[in-house]
Amino acid sequence: MAQLLKQSVKLALIQLASTADKAHNLSHARSKVLEATKQGAKIVVLPECFNSPYGTKYFPQYAEQLQPSPPTEKQSPSFHALSNLAKEAGVYLVGGSIPEVVGKWDGPEGEGKLYNTSLTFSPTGELVAMHRKVHLFDIDIPGKIRFKESEVLTPGNKISIVDFPEYGKVAIAICYDIRFPELATIAARKGAFLLLYPGAFNLTTGALHWELQARARAMDNQVYVGLCSPARDMEADYNAWGHSMAVDPNAEILQQLDEKEGTVLAELKAGRIEEVRKGIPLYTQRRFDVYPDVSEGGKFDE
């Protein structure tokens, strides 16, 4: 059987220190991506909301228009910066996420819509995937954290799997999406070798669940998983957990950062998924005569 990951590849997860200055964030991201490329990375990932602060009050202010595609430079400077950067670096670039506006935004009751959107570009600078966060981050843990993305954001409605022809299929989702294992299982059963989550957990849920979620998605599906957070900024309204990490198909951590700016550089090995699946053959032991196969359903953006 053909290997899911066709050849070994170096993955970079860039834990970027972002500021309130979008132009600065874009140029800082460029220098970090080029640095990772010099070290051999061929798939490079940026964090959720990598070019703005993370927070409901910031989404409208920083939002860019991505439709029609390609947008003009004025409609989306981030689209063009990411596309140019993927080409300059010669890498697959998963551009974290940016707030996206569709129509004219005049508040949550108006006609316009905001999404939390991830754009992925090929080494020729072509847009190859667009994922709108499907599960909005709405939580309320008394005395700890209340956050309601749904106050301003609209959820996406597609699962995103993209084919990188030299390497294989990659699934892209955003942060809170990781808590819904169906997305991961569907993508893995559709042949993804890698699940990527640009994400910004916080100091409450990060300590509890960040590593657990990453390792669980890898363990359940026997695939590689990469989580890419912004670096922590204690001056910001929202304090990201950091700890970007790459996990192998046996749920072993290949590399995990602390909370500061840095880059995970992890070698994903061709053959490793099949080796793990041979040892623990979940893939031939599933009992779809007892429970349904979730990968038979779903809406896709492939």
Ligand X SMILES: NC(=O)CCC(=O)C(=O)O
Catalytic residues: 48, 133, 175
Please report how the helices 181-189 and 211-221 are oriented relative to each other, as an axis angle in degrees rounded to 10.
30
Helix, coil or strand: residue 295: helix
* Interacting residue with ligand X among 46, 81, 171, 175 (CB under 6 A): 175
Q: Which is nearer to ligand X, 146 or 286 (CB)?
A: 146
Vertex 221 angle, CA 219 and 223, to 5°: 85
Binding range to ligand X, per CB under 6 A, among 65-73, 195-203, 215-223, 293-301: 195-203
Q: Which residues contact 94 (CB under 8 A, 6 or more apart)?
A: 43, 44, 45, 46, 118, 120, 129, 170, 172, 196, 198, 228
The rounded distance, in Å, linking the Cα atoms of 91 and 93 is 6
Q: How far is the CB of 207 from ligand X (least distance, A)?
A: 10
Residue of 60, 100, 58, 57 whose CA lies nearest to 78: 100
- Does position 201 interact with ligand X (CB under 6 A)? The reply is yes
- Does position 76 interact with ligand X (CB under 6 A)? The reply is no
Please state the φ and ψ torsions of residue 195, each to the nearest 5 degrees: -110, 125
Residue with smallest beta-carbon separation from ligand X: 205
Q: Which is nearer to ligand X, 25 or 205 (CB)?
A: 205
Q: Which is nearer to ligand X, 168 or 199 (CB)?
A: 199
Q: Which is nearer to ligand X, 105 or 201 (CB)?
A: 201
Number of helices and strands in the chain (H, E):
8, 16
Binding mask 137-166 for ligand X (x = CB under 6 A): x-----------------------------
* Interacting residue with ligand X among 50, 164, 176, 197 (CB under 6 A): 176
Residues near ligand X, by CB under 6 A: 48, 137, 175-176, 179, 199-202, 205, 209
